[in-house]
Amino acid sequence: MRYTVKSGAIEKITTDCLVVGVWSKGVLSDEAKSIDAASGKTISKVIKAGDFTGNLGETTLLYGMDGVSARRILLLGAGDKKKLDALNVGKLVEAAAKAVSKLEASSVHFAVSSLQAKDRDGAWLASMLSRNVEDQCYRYSTTKSKKPKPASLRSVSISAIAGTGRKALEAGLKYGQEVGKAINTAKQLGNLPGNVCTPTFLANEAQRLATHHKSITTQILSEKQMSRLGMGSLLSVSAGSAQEAKLIVMQYKGAPNDSRPYALVGKGITFDTGGISIKPGLAMDEMKFDMCGAASVVAVMGGVASLKLPINVVGVVAAAENMPGSKATKPGDIVTSMSGKTIEILNTDAEGRLVLCDALTYVERFKPRSVIDIATLTGAAVATFGSFATAILSNNDKLSETLLECGEHALDRGWPLPMWDDYQSLLNSNFADIANIGGPKGGTITAACFLSRFTEKQKWAHLDIAGSAWNSGNSKGATGRPVSMLMEYLKRQKA
């Protein structure tokens, strides 16, 4: 997709589709007024007829308007002008991107500078437009014999925005485009079935990054190598599967070698049956999404490299398949983690923390400035937040606050949960240093408390994306979250 900034009278812009906003109750935006005047009050007539009200996210198409060079006009409902904050701008931009992605249009121009959020600048609006266009143009086709028709869009332009320079707008478009591409990478990996997206497949995808970006190097650790490192916890998860576990280590160099990196650690359970503590059959097919944390790490590493961020980043993915089998770990088994801590496995379906704890210990060797792990970890997070927010838990208040702020800015929201010492006792074991579950209450918090035992030396945060990583029902599919939050966090960091 090609993104540009265009100046001049919007009624003279040649494009397959021109997008203009209309406020609630049919009040025309400045851009809509220009089109209305040039076309002999065509928009006013549509509104007077009651066919368009301007409600937030409402869209309607008009064709063949005299006095206007564009082939189509997409009227975009902007809602109440007094309530145009970033969240509502995000909703209307998403609606516009969804509408234009379905058109037989190769070009679109967004004349929406008057729809700028009162709490954001023009560059942010530009980035949201390009990000949403990329996101909405995604089509899954890999395992379909009859491929869906790809989106027709090839070029997107926006009007200049008062108060924001052209270079800033172009930078915003570029940033949003790369974030959108990263979101689509995460969605694609998440949507692949478990018989395609295996730990080995994930490893190969990470190696492809290194072939496409000279700034990335990828190393894959085998089960034998992990065994020599003492990763008994991670290996206990893959023990029942014919698929070999992989520890995937990606390093991005955008700063001098002596600059300490920022670390991302992703849970990559490519399919989760629950193991011996097997899950109910209903909706078990969705457990192919249990590697969405890993997908977000791979996607972000690619996005960081494309943007050439001036920092160093290390991405570690703990990839395994959790299956029942004659060699599978049993409830009550005790394993030794890479840290030396012993773990009593009371429930083999609490496996994500078992692969993450060894990966978190491994990442210490890079002496990271911060460590963020991303995991579809607990059903309790779904019960708490639904699909709206990612759970944020951290041993560092400033890091938690920064992630919260980055999520708000990127409209990829999270919310913090407490991780008080009171919860740690729920993980006590009579037979090992720690149990892998803490009972039926506070499941998201006790899972984070478990991980905190392996990050005591680190500035660390845990993102539980069990509710936000995919949608169920008719819209079933990976969402690509929390790629936007993570990209915003890394964009703000310094070498």
Identify the pLDDT of residue 118: 87
CB 467 within 8 A of CB 387: yes
Whole-number pLDDT of residue 307: 98
Of these residues, 6, 71, 260, 279, which one is catalytic? 279
What are the pLDDT tens digits along the chain (495 aa)?
A: 999 999 999 999 999 999 999 999 999 999 999 999 999 999 999 999 999 999 999 999 999 899 999 999 999 999 999 999 999 999 999 999 999 999 999 999 999 999 999 889 999 999 999 999 999 999 999 999 999 999 999 999 999 998 999 999 999 999 999 999 999 999 999 999 999 999 999 999 999 999 999 999 999 999 999 999 999 999 999 999 999 999 999 999 999 999 999 999 999 999 999 999 999 999 999 999 999 999 999 999 999 999 999 999 999 999 999 999 999 999 999 999 999 999 999 999 999 999 999 999 999 999 999 999 999 999 999 999 999 999 999 999 999 999 999 999 999 999 999 999 999 999 999 999 999 999 999 999 999 999 999 999 999 999 999 999 999 999 999 999 999 999 999 999 999
**Is 353 among the residues known to form the active site?**
yes
Among residues 131, 187, 267, 353, the one annotated as catalytic is 353
Give the pLDDT of residue 122. 95
Query: How much is the pLDDT for 184?
Result: 98
Q: Check if 253 is active-site.
A: no
Domains along the sequence of the chain with CATH: 11-137 (3.40.220.10), 186-491 (3.40.630.10)
For residue 28, the model assigns a pLDDT of 97
Whole-model pTM?
0.97
